């Protein structure tokens, strides 16, 4: 039997990413599947179990799985996800029965924030915000050295801070939410509305130098993030904002216009640093691995090197 490992699974709206991770943070192997959202929640659950089974190994001591939506950590029940279409899925118990080891179920954004605080730029930063930008936009609030969860565990929902009072309708029912302009899905949807062409956010950022519509929706996204971050900065005075999630793969093309949009809204005080996560789109996966190791009774990660 080799060195102990954990299975880390990050369930997103488009793909389910699984990795087998040892206690030094090294990826032993990976297995991904597309998320079969169109086939219904039972198919999504089956695909998650398939990914975990594919990674099963005698060295596995725990499983960590992170999902979007409302998650009940204490019972391992995924209560609700609009993107995945499920309600009250006992995912922790299902995976524990499959794998025969402890399972940690966590919220994907909280997991990404935990990874940023353990391994990434937010390590040892007392006042910061980790913004995860993917299919949606959400953040992890760190104030005075503590992760702020809020009264009903909803702190950090910066994606639903309204930035345009009479703006576009958000899937949440409000108008003008940050997420309606700045999520990868919103950028793609708004570009389609302008041009009738379907491009991913990644293709849009690449096209923006030569394509005015691409430049417009990208700029609108940066402005929306800048406005939301200005409100956050005025309330909580962070020293750092970390941009994480799939859209952060755009690097400086995201960081620089967000920095500018934020600075433009802060006339009398300095802006906090705005940086791209070194974990890139893998923050959720790293978080799943850290929570899995915790479920196995080990606090690891402090000396992990990222690769």
Q: Which residues bind Zn ion (CB under 5 A)?
A: 160, 170, 172, 174, 177
In terms of CB distance, is 27 or 174 closer to Zn ion?
174
What's the min distance (Å) between Cβ of 80 and Zn ion? 15
User: How far is Cα 40 from Cα 193, in angstroms, rounded to an integer?
Assistant: 27
**DSSP label at residue 135:** S
* Smaller CB separation from Zn ion, 61 or 182: 182
Shorter beta-carbon distance to Zn ion: residue 9 or 224: 224
Is residue 35 within 8 A of residue 84, CB to CB? The reply is yes
Please say which residue, 156 or 272, places its beta carbon nearer to Zn ion.
156
Name all contacts of 227-230 with Cβ < 8 Å and 24+ positions apart. Answer: 227/163, 227/178, 227/261, 227/265, 228/158, 228/161, 228/163, 228/178, 228/182, 229/129, 229/131, 229/158, 229/258, 229/261, 229/262, 229/274, 230/262, 230/265, 230/266
In whole angstroms, the minimum distance from the beta carbon of 179 to Zn ion comes to 6
> Nearest to residue 271, comparing CAs of 235, 239, 227, 225?
239
| Least spacing, CB of residue 61 vs Zn ion, in Å | 39
Cβ 144 to Zn ion shortest distance, Å: 28
**Considering beta carbons, is residue 159 or 226 the nearer one to Zn ion?**
159
Over the Cα atoms of the chain, what is R_g? 19
Collect all residues with Cβ–Cβ distance below 8 Å to 121 and sequence separation of at least 6. Answer: 240, 242, 275, 277, 278
Q: What angle do CA 27, 57, 305 make, to 5 degrees?
A: 15
Cβ count within 10 A of residue 107:
24
Give least dist CB 174 to Zn ion, A.
5
Nearer to Zn ion, 160 or 282 (CB): 160
Count of Cβ atoms closer than 10 Å to residue 61 Cβ: 18
- Closest CB 181 distance from Zn ion, rounded Å: 11
- State which residue, 172 or 263, has the beta carbon closest to Zn ion: 172
The minimum distance between CB 123 and Zn ion, in angstroms, equals 30
């Amino acid at each position: 039997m080799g060195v102990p490992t954990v299975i880390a699974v990050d369930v997103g709206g488009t793909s389910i990413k699984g990795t087998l991770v040892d206690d030094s943070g090294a990826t032993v192997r990976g297995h991904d599947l597309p998320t079969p959202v169109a086939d219904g929640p039972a198919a999504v659950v089956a695909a998650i179990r398939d990914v975990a089974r594919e990674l099963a190994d005698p060295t596995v001591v725990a499983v960590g799985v992170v999902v979007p939506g409302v998650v009940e950590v204490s019972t391992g029940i995924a209560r609700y996800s609009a993107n995945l279409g499920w309600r009250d899925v006992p995912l922790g118990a299902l995976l524990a029965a499959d794998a025969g080891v402890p399972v940690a179920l966590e919220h994907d954004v909280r997991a990404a924030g935990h990874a940023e605080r353990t391994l990434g730029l937010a390590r040892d930063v007392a006042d910061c915000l980790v913004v995860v930008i993917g299919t949606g936009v959400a953040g992890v609030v760190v104030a005075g050295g503590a992760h702020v969860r809020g009264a009903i565990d909803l702190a950090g929902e910066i994606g639903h801070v309204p930035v345009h009072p009479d703006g576009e309708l958000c899937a949440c029912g409000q108008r003008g939410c940050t997420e309606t302009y700045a999520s990868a899905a919103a950028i793609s949807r708004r570009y389609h509305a302008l041009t009738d062409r379907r491009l991913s956010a990644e293709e849009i950022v690449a096209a923006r130098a030569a394509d005015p519509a691409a430049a417009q929706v990208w700029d609108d996204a940066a402005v929306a993030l800048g406005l939301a971050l200005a409100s956050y900065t005025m309330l909580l005075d962070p020293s750092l904002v970390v941009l994480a999630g799939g859209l952060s793969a755009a690097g400086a093309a995201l960081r620089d216009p967000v920095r500018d949009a934020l600075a433009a809204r802060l006339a009398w005080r300095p802006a906090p640093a705005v940086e791209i996560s070194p974990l890139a789109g893998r923050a959720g996966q790293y978080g799943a691995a850290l929570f899995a190791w915790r479920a196995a009774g080990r606090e690891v990660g402090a000396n992990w090197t990222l690769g």
